[in-house]
Structure 1
Amino acid sequence: MRSWLIKLRKEQDLTQQEIAAGAHIDRAYYAQIENGTRNPSMTVASQIASYLHINPSLFYTEHLSEPFEKALVHSPVVIAHCDLNLRYTWMFNPHPDFKMNVVIGKRDDELDINEGTTGLMELKQSVMDDGITRREIIAFPLSEGLIRYDVFAQPLYDQNGHIIGAATVSVELLM
Structure 2
Amino acid sequence: MTKEQLRDTLIRAREAKQLTQEQVVSMSGANITRQYYSMIENGDRRPSVDVAKKIAPVLGVSWTIFFEIESNQKLRKTSSS
Task: Measure, in 2, the Cα distance between the counterparts of 1:4 and 1:54.
Answer: 9
Structure ranking higher in strand proportion: 1
Identify unmatched segments of 5+ residues in structure 1: 71-175
Per-residue deviation, residues 88-142 of structure 1 (Å, max 9, x unmatched): xxxxxxxxxxxxxxxxxxxxxxxxxxxxxxxxxxxxxxxxxxxxxxxxxxxxxxx
Structure 1 segments (4+ residues) deviating >2 Å: none
Higher helix share: 2
Match of 1:85 in 2: none
Alignment partners' CA distance in 1, 2:58 and 2:15 = 14
Q: What runs of 5+ residues in structure 2 fail to find an aligned partner?
A: none
Q: Does 1:57 align with 2:64?
A: yes
Residue 3 (1) aligns with residue 8 (2): yes
Identity in percent: 35
Q: Kindly report the root-mean-square deviation, in angstroms, between the aligned alpha carbons of the 2 structures.
A: 1.7
Tell me which of 13, 33, 46 is aligned to 1:39: 46
1:23 and 2:28 matched: yes
Structure 2 distance, partners of 1:46, 1:18, is 16
Counterpart CA distance in 1 for 2:17 and 2:38 is 17
Please report how far the alpha carbon of residue 53 of structure 1 lies from its aligned counterpart in structure 2 after TM superposition. Answer: 2.6
CA–CA separation in structure 1 for the residues paired with 2:57 and 2:16: 16
Please state how far the C-alpha of 1:50 moved relative to its aligned partner.
Answer: 2.1
When Rg is computed on C-alpha atoms for both structures, the one with the higher figure is: 1
Give the number of equivalent residue pairs: 68
**In 2, distance between residues paired with 1:23 and 1:3?**
20
- TM-score normalised by length of structure 2: 0.73
1:148 paired residue number = none
Q: So what's the TM-score if we normalise by structure 1?
A: 0.36
- Higher relative CO (Cα under 8 Å, sequence separation at least 6) belongs to 2
* Equivalence for 1:147: none
